[in-house]
């Protein structure tokens, strides 16, 4: 047997360990208040499902062009101009099997062995693996050194971590796990930093539609950034399409041949009916999100109040669907132990902050993307902690 060494560069999500623990508890008859997940609570919209069914009925079940079907690419060009202020042509776009695959291709297309990749920490867990797998060296920039600070301080913190080997910066806004949204000024500062050091940016905008305060600014829309930014989008969070696996990457022309080869050699194009479902999603009335956003906001405010009343210190997350309370005072500094304690005492399942990097230690990530009933039960349980 010849097992390749390569996969040893990758981790296996710790969140799976928590999920298995939750399953075991449920099997033994416990009710678990599941706040550990990362999925929209709303069902996949009917207009998306209908489009997928219609595609199947029309026998759209054969290979599609490996970079994406033309009507979807055209609709994405229009969406990017309208919503993201990013002017592209079809040739600057590629459809991927979700954001995770888009990120995988983006890292493989940009990072050479030994290149340093900067990113704010805590970070979405797979990012560190993506950096390692592409041969890069992860350089974590502690978010708490810049959170709430001026853009000039953000710049100083970035400069202090930057060496001549820095080549890439990964920027995730709205962010997982913190729910933070980078402001236009902060993004402009990161953009100036990237230009000054000739860095390529991988922008992860998976939660672009889930913003409760402030605005979503696409890195590629800032002056001089489209030519150095690969932006990864997904349909998963905006349209509750996590299981359909579709997203897209917008990139400067120099990266497109690599991205096309990576998609061709990994998935050989995204499922054709799924692409028709995505077409229906992206051409749907954009006001569709307004009511949904309100439902998320209501859930966020309820859960935050519950935590604050129970004595936790929480920053109000302006985006995504996670809260990331500091649990050190109430549950101790070890976030795996804190997760266990909270689970035992309140039946609330959460994710230890250290899963998102050492800078996440002392926190727990909880999703408010669930039913009001579950959140109300969580708030009642917190009151007894």
**Closer by beta carbon to ligand PLP, 99 or else 136:** 99
d(CA 41, CA 62): 32
Minimum CB distance to ligand PLP, residue 98 (Å) = 3
Minimum CB distance to ligand PLP, residue 55 (Å) = 20
Minimum CB distance to ligand PLP, residue 172 (Å) = 5
DSSP-based three-state secondary structure for 348: strand
Per-position b or e across 276-291, b if 16+ CB within 10 A of its CB = bbbbbbbbeeeeebee
State the pairing for strand pair 322-323/364-367. Answer: antiparallel
**Closer by beta carbon to ligand PLP, 123 or else 255:** 123
Minimum CB distance to ligand PLP, residue 236 (Å) = 3
DSSP per residue over 16-38, as a string? HHHHHHHHHHHHTT---EE----
- Strand intervals (E) in the chain: 33-34, 93-96, 116-121, 137-142, 166-172, 200-204, 229-234, 247-250, 322-323, 348-349, 351-352, 364-367
**Closer by beta carbon to ligand PLP, 206 or else 251:** 206
- Relative orientation angle of helices 335-346 and 14-27, to the nearest 10 degrees: 20
d(CA 315, CA 180): 9
DSSP-based three-state secondary structure for 118: strand
**Closer by beta carbon to ligand PLP, 346 or else 367:** 367
**Closer by beta carbon to ligand PLP, 155 or else 245:** 245
**Closer by beta carbon to ligand PLP, 98 or else 306:** 98
**Closer by beta carbon to ligand PLP, 100 or else 194:** 100
Minimum CB distance to ligand PLP, residue 59 (Å) = 27
Minimum CB distance to ligand PLP, residue 210 (Å) = 11
Query: Which residues lie near ligand PLP (CB under 6 A)?
Result: 38, 98-100, 124, 172, 176, 204, 206, 234, 236, 242, 247
DSSP-based three-state secondary structure for 94: strand
Minimum CB distance to ligand PLP, residue 191 (Å) = 20
Tokens of 380: 């009642």
Phi and psi at 280, nearest 5°, equal -65, -40
């Amino acid at each position: 047997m010849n097992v390749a060494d390569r996969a040893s560069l990758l981790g296996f999500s710790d969140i799976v360990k928590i999920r298995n623990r939750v399953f075991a508890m449920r099997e033994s008859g416990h009710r678990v208040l599941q706040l550990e997940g990362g999925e929209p609570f709303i069902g996949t919209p009917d207009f998306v499902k209908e489009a997928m069914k219609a595609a199947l009925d029309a026998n759209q079940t054969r290979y599609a062009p490996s970079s994406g079907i033309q009507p979807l690419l055209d609709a994405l060009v229009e969406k990017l101009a309208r919503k993201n202020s990013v002017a592209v042509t079809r040739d600057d776009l590629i459809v991927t099997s979700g954001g995770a695959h888009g990120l995988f291709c983006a890292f493989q297309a940009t990072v050479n062995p030994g290149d340093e990749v900067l990113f704010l920490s805590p970070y979405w867990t797979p990012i560190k693996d993506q950096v390692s797998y592409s041969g890069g060296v992860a350089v974590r920039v502690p978010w708490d050194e810049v959170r709430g600070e001026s853009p000039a301080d953000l710049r100083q913190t970035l400069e202090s971590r930057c060496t001549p080997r820095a080549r890439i910066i990964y920027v995730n806004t709205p962010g997982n796990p913190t729910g933070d949204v980078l402001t236009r000024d902060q993004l402009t500062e990161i953009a100036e930093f990237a230009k000054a050091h000739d860095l390529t940016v991988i922008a992860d905008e998976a939660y672009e539609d889930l913003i409760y305060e402030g605005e979503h600014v696409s890195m590629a829309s800032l002056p001089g950034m489209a030519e150095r930014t690969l932006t990864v989008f997904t349909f998963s969070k905006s349209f509750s399409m996590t299981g359909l696996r579709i997203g897209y990457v917008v990139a400067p022309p120099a990266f497109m041949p690599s991205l096309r080869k990576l998609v061709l050699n990994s998935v050989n194009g995204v499922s054709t009916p799924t692409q028709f479902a995505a077409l229906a999603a992206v051409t749907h009335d954009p006001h569709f999100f307004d009511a949904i956003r309100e439902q998320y906001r209501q859930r966020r405010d309820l859960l935050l109040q519950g935590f604050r009343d129970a004595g936790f210190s929480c920053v109000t997350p302006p985006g995504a669907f996670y809260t990331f309370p500091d649990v050190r005072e109430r549950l101790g500094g070890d976030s795996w132990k804190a997760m266990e304690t909270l689970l035992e005492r309140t039946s609330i399942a959460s994710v230890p902050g250290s899963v998102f990097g050492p800078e996440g230690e002392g926190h727990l990530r909880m999703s408010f993307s669930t039913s009001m009933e579950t959140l109300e039960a969580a708030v009642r349980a917190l009151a007894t902690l």
